Amino acid sequence: MTFDIENRIDRMLDVTVLTNDDIIAVGFTKKENRQQFVVAKFEQDGQFDEQFGQDGILHGDLSADQSSEAIMVTPGRSGGFYVLLNYFGDNNRIRLVKFMASGSIDSTFATNGLYILEDSTRRWTANAILVTAKEEILLTAESGALILVLKLTSTGLIDQNFGTEGHLILDQGNKFQRTLALAEQEDGKVVMTGEANVRDNIWKAFVMRITADGIIDSTFNKGGYYEENLDSTLTSTGQSIYVTKENKLLVVGGLHNGNVYDALLIRLQSSGEPDMTFGDQGGIIIPTSGNNVIREIRSFGNDEVILAGDRVMIKLTDDFALDNSFWNQGIKTHINEFIYGISINSNQELIVAGSTLQDFFLAKYRLASTTSTTDLNQNNIHLELFPNPLKRDVTVICTLSSPTWIRIDLWEVNGRILKTLLHKNDPVSGRQRFELQMPPNIPAGSYIITVSGNKGHTMKQVVIF
């Protein structure tokens, strides 16, 4: 479904599902140069909860001098939900609001349900929030080269036992950085991922770990800090992080290949070092037909996860390989919608939120229906391969419905890319034929060939003997 507020530019930035399967989506609405936060509450059937706000929607006043946005929503451990907001103006203010499950503001939290971070010396912009197993709240914000980590008690008071009087400031010198996601380990330590400007125009995904009392964990990798190093010449970003059942860390985001962003997955050992059994040097790059950064990772209750961001959703099995039963070999591409948030309800259905060019976008997907292959033709690429099985040479014939750049990659079936066989930046269309060679000394076995363009992708399995 799509909806708007008085023909404005609307965007949903995050979504969560409450214990009763009601849905909370947050973002902003914009008209001309005025922008204000939006919080929307839906019943599980997708209808607005008209008892919340005004007919299911709560939003700021566009006539106000100060702009705002709701960037994140997360459920509480004991019911209710938290909404994190940024206010922009002469003195940036971060606000955290706690709601009860009914949608009413929880007046027992902080000051009448509202915590406000005010700092007259700096302008902080909030990036992420985490509710711990003890219902404590960690909030991260950025200001130039500084990262702020703030901890609140379950009642919304500053936790004086954390860091220095409730906060930890991380300073990487002249390196601009931002933390975009947090996750809690079983031992109470907290891992954070984001992006840092390491030099010139190169940004790198990073991971940091702190203890429960707000001290950098020096036992994690090198002094508590890991920086992506798959290719020092390419920009990357870490957007979300997940702790596996083996206490490894799965970081998702994007890697810019010089043309567009590809989906990036990095897996670290609990020590913070790259897991060399995962892809190439601990990383896997997945071309996704266009400019797509993975912004969210959500678990189905085990290590089977769904990844989503921009115009793509990717499903991984519990051993972190592409789930071939999900849409087109584990990947679903959206054409008209941008995805910013994803959640999973009690029926293991996907709740997806984002925007079209103008309107809010909210959708529900049943996994049982996504195994259909009828979506393959929506990728605008028809693929033929021969011979198959093959020894070394392969003929790739693809029919493209509209002009597009084209990229052909060879993959192992476990999701590790082996080689880019072809990359043409000049747009082509119609029936295209390419004579390609497999890498020398490639072992016999099953592999996957993917063909990607700016409006879709497709793939086929090949056997090399």
pLDDT band at 376 (very low <50, low <70, confident <90, very high): very low
The domain segmentation of the chain, as residue ranges, is 1-118+320-375, 128-294, 380-464
pLDDT band at 370 (very low <50, low <70, confident <90, very high): very low
**CATH for 380-464 (2.40.50.140, 3.40.718.10, 2.40.10.220, 2.60.40.1930):** 2.60.40.1930
The pLDDT, as a whole number, for residue 368 is 47
The pLDDT, as a whole number, for residue 62 is 58
pLDDT band at 329 (very low <50, low <70, confident <90, very high): confident
pLDDT digits 0-9 by tens, 207-233 = 999 999 999 999 999 899 999 999 989
Comparing 379 with 305, which gets the higher pLDDT?
305
The pLDDT, as a whole number, for residue 366 is 81
The pLDDT, as a whole number, for residue 296 is 95
Mean pLDDT of 382-400: 88
Q: What is the length of the chain?
A: 465
Point out the least confidently predicted range of 57-71, 81-95, 406-420: 406-420
pLDDT band at 442 (very low <50, low <70, confident <90, very high): confident
The pLDDT, as a whole number, for residue 325 is 83
pLDDT digits 0-9 by tens, 147-204 = 999 999 999 999 999 999 999 999 877 678 899 999 999 899 999 999 999 888 899 9
pLDDT band at 372 (very low <50, low <70, confident <90, very high): very low
Residue 378 has pLDDT above 50, yes or no: no
